[in-house]
Amino acid sequence: MCGRFVSSSPPDEIAKYFDVAEVAETYLEPSYNVAPSQEVYAVFERDAVRQLQPFRWGLIPFWAKERSVGYKMINARAETLADKNAYKRAFRSRRCIIPANGFYEWKRIPGRRAKQPFYIHRPDDEPYAFAGLWEVWRGAGEGEGGEVDDVGPVSSCTIVTCAANDALEAVHDRMPVILPRRAWDEWLSEEVDDVSRLGKLLVPAPSDLTVLYPVSTAVNNPRSAGARLIDRLQDGQVED
């Protein structure tokens, strides 16, 4: 599961880090509390050109009748990508990398009402390369009330998740798939459509790539913002 993450690097730094050739003109403000349905940067390839552009977080399948479907599809389980109608087409031909400076997970603490959020990041503070899928939804569907939802096209994405590694399993049983640099070309290639081959990339990251510590419950509110959200709680500091 990945319900919130940090995207604080500017697009020029992201482009350099991921060897991007073309960057969309749309600029996203740095965010320390990216929430579902918000715009996020994603790296993908089109006609063998690596590009960076904003996508709506929460994949909207091309066949969906309304955009709200995307709220349920912020994460896609690696184990079922090849079988689920919402993801199998994108898994073959519309893969992306979602850059993240870190992400949050929540742990239930005995005797406390609220779960404790933890911030997870690389020890060297370089960006994570989350495995993702993307789609373009063109609207013109009929909503639940019979109204026409025709506000397209919308480019959307989802984060692929796998079982947690040893460092995270005490906090949560799932984590984003974090692709090593050696896997980027294969994951992004439009020429690769062998799902068995691609599935071998979708494994937990080594534990030494995931440093975690408790942070304030302020991150629970999607309106909370700022770098203070990733400040580490001091030893003995408790929030309830």
Whether 78 and 199 have beta carbons less than 8 Å apart is answered as yes
The CA-atom distances, in angstroms, between 211 and each of 45, 98, 167, 222 are 30, 19, 8, 23
Determine phi and psi for 13, rounding to 5 degrees.
-70, -40
Residue 37 Ramachandran class (φ > 0 left, ψ -120 to 50 alpha, else beta): left
Q: Which of 2, 96, 157, 162 is catalytic?
A: 2
For the CA atoms of 23, 29, 32, 36, the dihedral, rounded to the nearest 10 degrees, stands at: -80
Whether 192 and 129 have beta carbons less than 8 Å apart is answered as no
Q: Which of 39, 45, 66, 105 is catalytic?
A: 105
Strands 39-46, 49-57: pairing kind: antiparallel
Strands 49-57, 154-163: pairing kind: parallel
Q: Enter the tokens of residue 77.
A: 């389980």
96 is an active site residue: no
Whole-number Å distance between alpha carbons of 37 and 77? 18
105 is an active site residue: yes
DSSP string, 50-112: EEEEEEEES---TT-SSGGGGGG-SEEEGGGTTT-TTTHHHHHH-EEEEEESEEEEEE--TT-
- The residues assigned a catalytic role are 2, 105
